[in-house]
Structure 1
Amino acid sequence: MDERDYEILLELYKTKNISKAADNLYVSQPSLTYRIKQIEKKINYPIIIRGVKGIDFTNEGERLITYVLQQRQHYEEFITSLQQNSGEIGGTLKLGVSGMYARYALPAVLAEFHQLYPQVEIDLVTGWSNEVNKMVLNEQVHIGIVRGDYNPTGQRLLLRRDQLYIVSRELITFEALPHLPAILYATDISLKATIEQWWKENFRKPQKVSIRTDRSETCLEMVKSALGYAILPEICLTDTELYHVPLHDKAGNPIYRDTWLTYTAHANHLKQATKFVEFLTTP
């Protein structure tokens, strides 16, 4: 098998769908199907089973994927070791990043980092913070950026603190909140628990939910259209036209949402990873 076969197998494994894989690989479905059959012919075993909703990998297919992933990792480690010995800062930097940080802060960070280290290739995965934390612990990524209080076995450094705010188009009073339409958005369990705990400490009635959405930016647009209020972290708030009322606990302390840089000892041996840590943590 060659590198193109590796790409095909990994894309199939990621999408579990021949049509989507073909689109992502910029090939026709018949061409992709033919290539799959050629791979199966080479190893003398079927690797996928077609179903109504997509494909599943056979036991042999799963073993082949494991082999491909191992070969990819060995190749990346080999290239990285060559660059480490040469003194060049390059290779692949695998990042796992919280979806909210990836949307609102990461593009500017990567643009500046790329200017300093153009030879570093970024392999980026985004997801909920608890998922990213697991990726770090399992060394699926070199560095993770998570939001909330997670405790990996490796190292973590505080990147930023974002205060939580009640955000609305019109000025509203604290006492009126239980009677006003609330807009909720999908978020990780840590932020959801923080908001729910704050609400229970201050109100006996549940929120009057009018809209539920799957993304914070959609929620923010709904707020701009005066469809309700939302509780959002500071990282989302660049629109100065909206009213921002900070959240405080019972003792009067601001409630923050912390963003952490996390990594294991393995990352300390990679120049591209240590440079990224230095870049993010140096004032």
Structure 2
Amino acid sequence: MSDIPFTLDQLRILKAIAAEGSFKRAADSLYVSQPAVSLQVQNLEKQLDVPLFDRGGRRAQMTEAGYLLLSYGEKILSLCQETCRAIEDLQNLQGGTLIIGASQTTGAYLLPRMIGMFRQRYPDVSLELQVHSTRRTAWSVANGQIDLAIIGGEVPTELRDVLEIKPYAEDELALILPPSHAFAKMETIHKEDLYKLHFIALDSQSTIRKAIDQVLSRWGIDPKRLRIEMELNSIEAIKNAVQWGLGAAFVSLSAIEKELQMGILHRARIQEVVVKRTLSVILNPNRYRSKAAEAFCRDILPQFTRERSFAIVEPLVQGGVKLEPTSHNSIAPPPVV
């Protein structure tokens, strides 16, 4: 074939059909008519001389050739978007787009503040936040759909050699109680006191729950002995349950700043125990790094830790961007034996 037998518009249509599951919904999502979508698919199949869809069922089902073209088509479209953003970068942050990813808790409580700070400095840059599970976010960075992400969980094993994973900050997970609880009158509680509490927690498979269990184990506290009375699927639900006296919980300090100021939750301190997890910045070293992404790493991430109760745990050096560490005093956990 001397000429490329498809256009970018045809690839966009193919991707939309795959995402929407029908020609009609794909046409609606692209703001074109269904006959126009059908005609483009027919022309594409004629140019390639291969069927891309099985016409028998109600749902648009791709053939093997259709899936193959979709796989390469998504990569082509992603590179086209990357190219456009690189050209926009020539305007030196007077435009362009930055797409940031985050896992659930960081996306809900940390990134909105960071984005606000970034927009104050660079109002002409279009910024998009995508909040998903750590796994989905990591794959989006690997596929070039997200420029960078801040996560609190583990990157999938199969992506650890693909992505650049930089420890960024330590996020303290505070023990919260209702202000009326007897322990709320104590300056500190002992490790053994945890076994007396009724806990409200996230699902046992959640990344935060796993991180809490791991850290408690290092401090000689058996997570299996904790009395989990209730499992809820969101931090907001957990905070409300604690507020109404249903139990205690570990939550990120970033999620309870307002409640602590208002006095509707109490932060209990455990003698000689600090529960923390590491937040990481993940990037794809094989993708184009926009000036907007570099500016976010250079100007926002270090400033955010200085203004909040976080500490950078390791300098991040990438593409000339370095996050300088800040001083931080904390109790070091005992070594894992």
TM-score by length of 2: 0.65
Q: Is 2:23–2:37's contact at 8 Å kept on the other side of the alignment?
A: no
The alpha-carbon deviation at position 145 of structure 1 amounts to 0.8
Q: What stretches of structure 2 of length at least 5 have no aligned partner?
A: 1-5, 46-50, 184-188, 304-337
Name the residue aligned to 1:126.
131
Of 275, 290, 296 in structure 2, the residue corresponding to residue 255 of structure 1 is: 275
Name the residue aligned to 1:110.
115
Letter in 2 for 1:142: D
CA gap of 1:157–1:76, structure 2 versus 1, over 3 A, is same
Aligned residues: 274
Name the residue aligned to 1:47.
53
Report the Cα distance in structure 2 between the residues aligned to 1:19 and 1:110, rounded to whole angstroms.
37
CA gap of 1:274–1:204, structure 2 versus 1, over 3 A, is closer
Q: What stretches of structure 1 of length at least 5 have no aligned partner?
A: none
Letter in 2 for 1:272: A
Q: Indicate the structure (1 or 2) with the bigger Cα radius of gyration.
A: 2
The alpha-carbon deviation at position 6 of structure 1 amounts to 5.6
The alpha-carbon deviation at position 120 of structure 1 amounts to 2.7
CA RMSD of aligned residues (A): 3.9
CA gap of 1:110–1:226, structure 2 versus 1, over 3 A, is same
Report the Cα distance in structure 2 between the residues aligned to 1:234 and 1:27, rounded to whole angstroms.
44
Q: Percent of pairs identical after alignment?
A: 18
**How big is each residue's C-alpha offset from its partner over 1:141-166, in whole Å with a ceiling of 9 and x where there is no partner?**
321211156666536252x4321122
Q: Is 1:136–1:144's contact at 8 Å kept on the other side of the alignment?
A: yes
Give secondary structure in 2 for the equivalent of 1:202.
Answer: coil
CA gap of 1:198–1:145, structure 2 versus 1, over 3 A, is closer
Report the Cα distance in structure 2 between the residues aligned to 1:230 and 1:64, rounded to whole angstroms.
49
Report the Cα distance in structure 1 between the residues aligned to 2:231 and 2:182, rounded to whole angstroms.
20
Q: Is 2:93–2:292's contact at 8 Å kept on the other side of the alignment?
A: no
TM-score by length of 1: 0.75
Name the residue aligned to 1:77.
82
CA gap of 1:154–1:43, structure 2 versus 1, over 3 A, is same
Name the residue aligned to 1:245.
268
Give secondary structure in 2 for the equivalent of 1:265.
Answer: coil
Structure 1 residue 92 and structure 2 residue 101: aligned?
no
The alpha-carbon deviation at position 211 of structure 1 amounts to 2.4
Report the Cα distance in structure 1 between the residues aligned to 2:214 and 2:233, rounded to whole angstroms.
21
Letter in 1 for 2:44: I
Of 137, 143, 156 in structure 1, the residue corresponding to residue 166 of structure 2 is: 156
**How big is each residue's C-alpha offset from its partner over 1:42-90, in whole Å with a ceiling of 9 and x where there is no partner?**
32334378979x7654323323423442332232233233233444543
Report the Cα distance in structure 2 between the residues aligned to 1:81 and 1:204, rounded to whole angstroms.
49
Q: Is 1:163–1:254's contact at 8 Å kept on the other side of the alignment?
A: yes
Structure 1 residue 226 and structure 2 residue 226: aligned?
no
Give secondary structure in 1 for the equivalent of 2:80.
Answer: helix
Report the Cα distance in structure 2 between the residues aligned to 1:268 and 1:74, rounded to whole angstroms.
9
Report the Cα distance in structure 2 between the residues aligned to 1:23 and 1:182, rounded to whole angstroms.
49
